[in-house]
Amino acid sequence: MHLRSIIGFLYKYIDTGKKLVPGRDAVLIVGGTMSKTGWNVCNLLVRRYNVEVINIDSKCAYSLLKKFSVIDSDQCEAMDLLEEQMINENDLANQEEAQVDDSLAELVLEGGLEQLYLEADEAKLLHPYRSSGNYTFIECRDLADSKCVIDAMLMALATGKRITVFINNLQEGLYSKCLENGGYVDSLEFFEKCTNTNVTNAIIATKYFISEFIPTINTNFGPENDYYIVNFTVDPRNQKLLLPASYFTTKAAIRQLHDGLSSEKSIYETTSKIKTLLVRIPETPANVDLHMERFEQIADLLIKNLKLGRAGTYNITATIFTNILADFRQFLDQLQY
């Protein structure tokens, strides 16, 4: 038991196991633009680190954040422009149609998925499949609908990219607004939507990645690939979150999902190793008005930790020293048993 604890502690900080390798790994993020942190992760991976990103979401970032009135019009316009630049880097806006692989076209005919082509006069509207350079946006019209999520995952798999990093950033309810009386809209319907999105479909997407993506990637690119599964949550110790119970309950379930994956991943590790990471993002309704540069710094810190191959649980708001100290204390506690 003590040896296992020592190995687990060192595993977090020594260069072992899976690491994000720019130029080699592709990243699939579900709900990538459901939070400022997630959106900045997508943006930096594509622009700064030259990493291919496939983003499955129902809305682009600026429209979602504007809906919940957590950004002003200037921020909205800036995020709109950046999103369009990411999609249109290869002059996609000047093309009459967004070109897609034949395999994807066949997928539409066989599976009855949404039409993949985009008319020129609809260039600024969301599109089921928009790809340019290192960034691909796949629209999932309802992230609470399991069929829509599976269809979107199927489209991501059909891109043929070397997807070895899976990030779950499903954050339904994160920006739920307070009522005038100080309460939250925490109805049964809201709880059901949060649960279906953040828990049920997060599990479905994760299991689909393990059961379908990993064997396919190993077949197409060789069995020597290792994989990363990353889940975003919030820090439950922060008493100032003021988040609705529905959202908090689903994030507690995600923490349990991370623990479950960490314990059962050996079942799937026949030829490839799977590394798991739980990230506590600092984004809440109370601090979402922070300048975008701050969230960019947070996203950059997260990406650097992925490049280092961090595993376990990571409180992204804490300093590196604080994280190491907390892990060391946990390690000492384990030695007492």
Identify whether the C-beta of residue 30 lies closer than 8 Å to the C-beta of residue 169: yes
The percentage of residues in the chain with a pLDDT greater than 90, rounded to a whole number, is 30
Where does 19-65+114-335 sit in CATH, by number? 3.40.50.720
Identify whether the C-beta of residue 55 lies closer than 8 Å to the C-beta of residue 153: no
What distances in angstroms separate CA 335 from CA 1, 7, 8, 310, 322, one per listed residue? 8, 12, 12, 22, 20
d(CA 259, CA 12): 15
What string of DSSP letters covers 87-125?
A: HSTTSGGGSSS----HHHHHHHHHH-PPP----GGGTTS
Task: Determine the pLDDT at residue 169.
Answer: 94
Torsion of CA 247, 143, 266, 156, to 10 degrees: -150
Q: Where are the domains of the chain?
A: 19-65+114-335
What does the block give as tokens for 311?
């595993």
* Helix-helix angle 292-308:73-87, to 10 degrees: 40
The 10s digit of each residue's pLDDT in 70-126 is: 334 444 445 455 555 555 544 443 343 334 344 433 433 333 333 333 332 333 333
* Helix-helix angle 292-308:36-47, to 10 degrees: 60
3-class SS string, 121-181:
HHCCCCCCEEEECCEEEEECCCCCCHHHHHHHHHHHHHCCCCEEEEEECCCCCCCCCECCC
Task: Determine the pLDDT at residue 167.
Answer: 97
Question: Phi then psi for 90, rounded to 5 degrees?
Answer: -105, 35
Task: Determine the pLDDT at residue 34.
Answer: 85
Question: Phi then psi for 239, rounded to 5 degrees?
Answer: -75, -5
Residues of the chain with pLDDT under 70: 1-16, 59-132, 176-186, 235-244, 265-271, 283-292, 317-337
Apex 272 CA angle, 138 and 228, nearest 5: 45
Task: Determine the pLDDT at residue 49.
Answer: 93
Nearest to 210 by CA among 254, 168, 239, 175: 168
Identify whether the C-beta of residue 130 lies closer than 8 Å to the C-beta of residue 54: no
Length of the chain: 337
